[in-house]
Amino acid sequence: MDSDNDCGSDAGAEWVWVRRPSEVEAAAAAAGWLADEEARPLKVVFGSPAKYFTDAAPIGNGRLGAMVWGCVESERLQLNHDTLWTGGPGNYTNPNAPAVLSKVRSLVENGKYPEATSAAYDLSGDQTQVFQPLGDIDLVFGEDIKYTNYRRELDLHTATVTVTYTVGDIVYTREHFSSNPHQVIVTKISANKPGNVSFTVSLTSPLDHKIRVTHANEIIMEGSCPGQRPEEIKTAADQPIGIKFSAILYLQINGANSTVEVLNDNMLKLDCADSVVLLLAATTSFQSAFIKPSESKLDPTVSAFTTLSIARRTSYSQLKAYHIDDYQTLFQRVSLQLSQGSNYDLRRSRLVQSAETSSQGANVSDYGFQISGCTRLTSLNSFVKPTVERIVTFKDNEDPSLVELLFQFGRYLLISCSRPGTQISNLQGIWSNDTSPPWDAAPHPNINLQMNYWPALPCNLSECQEPLFDFIGSLSINGAKTAKVNYEASGWVSHQVTDLWAKTSPDAGDPVWALWPMGGPWLATHLWEHYCFTLDKHFLEKTAYPLLEGSARFLLDWLIEGHRGYLETNPSTSPEHYFIAPDGKEACVSYSTTMDISIIREVFSALILSADILGKSDTNVVQRIKKALPNLPPMKVARDGTIMEWAQDFQDPEIHHRHVSHLFGLYPGHTMSLEETPDLCRAVANSLYKRGSQLRCRKCWYRALGPTCTFSLLCPATSGLKATLKV
């Protein structure tokens, strides 16, 4: 350790005493009870084919994703690539913004909040670009197929979707996974009797594309994204060049009597195979957030062929083994075991009784076997039920294993949509079937993007954060221009929404969402959190500190001397939430909202601590921060006992609003705690009560990982379960 100031030092640290495990707990641990949790089924089970996009099962390798629908007569794998977006690099500056900013500030200083809100529309920028679907693999097996024993399941242990069903005396099996080591989507279709696999297969896309079949076992789809948002396209002549893409589907056919033919020059018809393995490789011409699609040197078809040629030389069993090994390196780091009231006590009492009545020579693992066996007998029925049934009955049985499944499903989604070298997880992770998805599927740094990555560190998926840090670096480049031109400030800034091209200017439209320059500062706090978890000093010095310092420099310039004796942010909004101004009109623009000040405290504190560790405490920016911190407005409690959301105790027209931005200081921030600020924490509890119970299903972290979440009706926050987390 370099000094006592180093976060890794024990000097001056508060020690927490942990009780000695009981005999029962020791016996269970010795028997491998906790370890055995990893071997139990973790499967999302579907009792029927998907009818809607959100019923399909997601697979992904960080870059290439698919939704498996699992229909019997026809199968659809809806495909996505993380760099398939409309548009290209933009100009994220507004030379007219400084004059508008001065006007808005003057209105705020004079208490004219509705007028300031109207004027702030002129600070808005352009809309983001739009995440686009790659297309579909369509397989047709027949019509009016009479089948039984249908089952579709996503195995979280292996990141594999399996579909099985029976037609007559033949059992059909389809296996799907997205391989990170080989960068392909893999599907195997087989039957338990030879010569019974027949289907037609094609590639389609809602984007502009062409299909060609080069061999009897290969289909190539080449196309391009729109060069601008779809609604902005008027004529083909006005269309800028967009990102190009290529997807190549290759069939490995097994069976002595199998035949394959080309239909209509765009699809393949296969008959009488024993089994077939489909390999799909897809790439785009995206090169960088700062390179126009028209200037890209990448040929996506050449890249896709290169990727596919490696996978073609690998057997299915090897592809699957590489895939599982790579995935489980991340997934198996964490196991979660939950116990619930009487059921746990029953298992506990049986174990104690077994220990007391058994002979002295009995091995401790015998007791562990009994408790494990009891657990299996009571829960096996749950594992074979369709997950939707388990969700419906959860309100009655509070099944702990369902919450375990939910927790691991969240980890699975993050692993599947964010890997080193890929793009960040967008608003829908990596899965979208619409050319105009909700909110453009664009990352929203006013909470959603951060929520996507909250599980990364506590759930031991640190590597999955790397795309976020790469992206923050891109934001800092564009954001420096936005800060300088729009706000005449140093450092870098980013607002409420962004896209593949690292947009940093305000969004278009209402300032209630668009005017929020705290997106960049909030993202910067993730850099400090990463250091706190990993104690990676090289990361702190080379990556985190420069970005934190740039964010802090902007905040120092953004703060202004207020008439109330404090440094203020003006204009200021609380994300997506209006208030009632003193004149009775709705407004959203005021000064020094609680979230603004909470984020600023967090960034300033992180930079001071980082500077101490790196020996940079004497720099000008650190000295300015130390001078500014005592002059920030304090946290306030409103008349009704809640945390004040705005600097004044404005009337709230929507008390059940879905955001709880003013509680940032408690989480994910660190400026409130039960030990240090109990009065504020009581106000936090009152705030949550006032907001209402619907918060539990709108803002739980696992929902942010994508709308594909099967558990959208379930919130484990109210389950009252006790958890043992093994990392």
pLDDT of 626-684, one tens digit each?
999 999 999 999 999 999 999 999 999 999 998 999 999 999 999 999 999 999 999 99
Give helix 364-384 / helix 341-357 axis angle, nearest 10°: 150
- pLDDT 10s digits, 185-224: 999 999 999 999 999 999 999 999 999 998 889 999 999 9
DSSP conformation letters of 363-415: -HHHHHHHHHHHHHHHHHHHHHS-HHHHHHHHHHH--HHHHHHHHHHHHHHHH
Q: Are 244 and 204 in contact (CB under 8 A)?
A: no
User: Which of the four pLDDT bands, split at 50, 70 and 90, describes residue 346?
Assistant: very low
Give helix 23-30 / helix 341-357 axis angle, nearest 10°: 90
Percent of the residues in the chain that have a pLDDT greater than 90, as a whole number = 80
- pLDDT 10s digits, 368-424: 333 334 444 445 566 679 999 999 999 998 899 999 999 999 999 999 999 999 999
Q: Phi first, then psi: give them for residue 722, nearest 5 degrees.
A: -95, 135
Tokens 């964490």 belong to 334
Instruction: Report how far apart the first and last C-alpha atoms of the chain are (Å, whole number).
Output: 25
For residue 235, the model assigns a pLDDT of 63
User: Which of the four pLDDT bands, split at 50, 70 and 90, describes residue 237?
Assistant: low
One-letter amino acid for residue 272 of the chain:
C
The 3-class secondary structure across 298-320, one letter per residue, is CCHHHHHHHHHHHHHCCCHHHHH
Closest CA to 161 of 282, 43, 321, 323: 43
For residue 18, the model assigns a pLDDT of 46
Q: Are 354 and 23 in contact (CB under 8 A)?
A: no
For residue 22, the model assigns a pLDDT of 59
C-alpha 183, offset from chain centre: 20
For residue 620, the model assigns a pLDDT of 97
pLDDT (average), residues 492-496:
98
d(CA 445, CA 465): 15
For residue 216, the model assigns a pLDDT of 82
For residue 557, the model assigns a pLDDT of 98
Measured CA to CA in angstroms, residue 406 lies from 174, 413, 498, 701 at distances of 24, 11, 29, 11
Helix (H, G, I), strand (E, B) or coil at 140: strand
Q: Which residues contact residue 315 at a Cβ distance below 8 angstroms, ignoring those fewer than 6 apart?
A: none
- Residue 28, pLDDT above cutoff 80: no
> Structural domains in the chain?
43-86+134-332 (2.70.98.50), 96-125+443-691 (1.50.10.10)
Q: Phi first, then psi: give them for residue 576, nearest 5 degrees.
A: 65, 25
Q: Are 490 and 553 in contact (CB under 8 A)?
A: yes
Q: Are 465 and 113 in contact (CB under 8 A)?
A: no
d(CA 612, CA 541): 12
- Detail the DSSP E strand segments found in 96-179: 135-140, 148-155, 160-167, 170-179
Give pTM, 2 decimals: 0.87
- pLDDT 10s digits, 668-712: 999 999 999 999 999 999 999 999 854 443 333 223 333 333 333
Cα angle at 722 between 406 and 693, to 5 degrees?
A: 65
